Amino acid sequence: MGERIRAARQARRPRCSQEKLADELSAARWGKTGYLDRQSVYRWEKGKRVPQVWLPFIEQVLNIDLSGNNQGSIADTVTSVMLLGGGDVDRRHFLTASAAVGLAALDLPDAEAIVRRANRAGPVRVGMGEVSAVRTMTTTLGNAASELGGGHARHLAVRYLTVDVKRWLEGQYTEKTGRELFAATSELVHLIGWMARDEGHQGLSQKYHLHSYRLAAEAGENELAATALRGLADQAIDLGHIPTAVRLAEACEQRGRKLTNAKALAYYRNTYARAAAADGDHTTAAKMLTSAQAAIEHAPTRPGQSWASHYSHGRWAHESGMIHAKLGDLAAAEEHLHLALDIHGLDRRRTRAIVLADLGHVQLKRGDTETALATWNEFLDCADGVQSVRINDGLANIAARLPTLPDTPSAQEVRDRVSRQRIPTD
């Protein structure tokens, strides 16, 4: 590890001294400089000390992966994801906003991992009962997060991964059971990544989505792999890495073409449409929107078992509405957002609140101020008690627009409620 740190530091341009690296690591962890000295970096590079607490910040600053002791090829996925989960339990503050995803990292799944592990001696014998337990727990934790936000359930999910699921991944199973176990674990890891992102931990979320992709690829599960790519693409859009988002969304949609699941097709095509709209490619965005609508119109109403199969008609309508807004068609945007709320009846508090915040912004842009204020009042009712960065962003966006509105009683009411409910920032 010390040699890799030194090599990465010396490869930096302009030249990065040990003292400069110490300053950058201090800034990454504390927002200041001067907490770490050159001697600490020297001891790490000489192998005299292991940078346990500083490890995620070294990875961030030098843009290298040390968690899995990756020596030029991908480390064992199970070991890597458990190391990540174990660190997540202990470190409440992980990486901040991450850099663009290197797509090369997505092309390295170990296709023989399950075969190599199958029928070996392990601490416990694993069957389909354990696989079913992972899927049931993922559904239960996902339902809680959808209602109350990712901040309420992530550490429960991480502990389940690193205690119970770890024993089974290291246990004895057949190749068939192993593939099912890897697939179920991929869904759990993807959920944890979604929860981390919903809390605002972007770098941590990215790592979980990458592991979800690798587990799915090793299991041979095309839909789950595409879903992990979807998570990475959405994150890249939110962070402003638009070219990377387009590449990820295109890869996601291409994987989706091989599937027969109509909800998954709509899910991935709307992802591509959103990335294309963010990139200013209106032609591709419109094409993907039309294709997503054609797929969702043939999809069953009831949710299926997989993550993509939970892509409801309401969520499709919400995402489509926001893509239309990005393309400048505010009438279509408002129509789709009303469709999400009134026809498909999104009823999870977190989800409904996010749609209401977006609808209010569209109504305001269309010049309907009083209706927007009424919509935001309904948003505030739904958002109370939900822990989600999306809710916090909604509150911040509303607060930013209120000073420009006429000082009417309804505007003052919303202003007072936002000031009481908004989470203060540093």
pLDDT confidence of residue 344: 66
- Find where tokens 């990486």 sit: 95
Single pTM value for the model: 0.72
Structure tokens at 422: 């908004």
Angle at 210 between CA 72 and CA 386, to 5 degrees: 150
Which residues neighbour 130 within 8 Å (Cβ) at sequence distance 6 or greater? 168, 171, 181
Q: Tell me the average pLDDT of the chain.
A: 84
What are the pLDDT digits (tens) for 306-324?
A: 888 888 899 999 999 999 9
- DSSP letter (8 states) at residue 93: S
pLDDT confidence of residue 107: 47
**Cβ(195)–Cβ(150) below 8 Å:** yes
What are the pLDDT digits (tens) for 61-85?
A: 887 767 554 433 345 677 767 767 7
**Cβ(274)–Cβ(308) below 8 Å:** no
**Plot region of 69 (φ>0 → left; ψ -120 to 50 → alpha; else → beta):** left
pLDDT confidence of residue 381: 92
pLDDT confidence of residue 109: 54
**Cβ(128)–Cβ(90) below 8 Å:** no
pLDDT confidence of residue 377: 95
pLDDT confidence of residue 58: 85
pLDDT confidence of residue 348: 82
**Cβ(327)–Cβ(286) below 8 Å:** yes
Cis peptide before 403 (omega within 30 of 0): no
R_g over Cα of the chain: 23
Q: How many residues does the chain have?
A: 426
What are the pLDDT digits (tens) for 334-373?
A: 999 999 998 766 668 898 999 999 999 999 999 999 999 9
pLDDT confidence of residue 291: 95
Low-confidence ranges of the chain (pLDDT < 50): 69-74, 90-105, 107-108, 424-426
pLDDT confidence of residue 105: 45
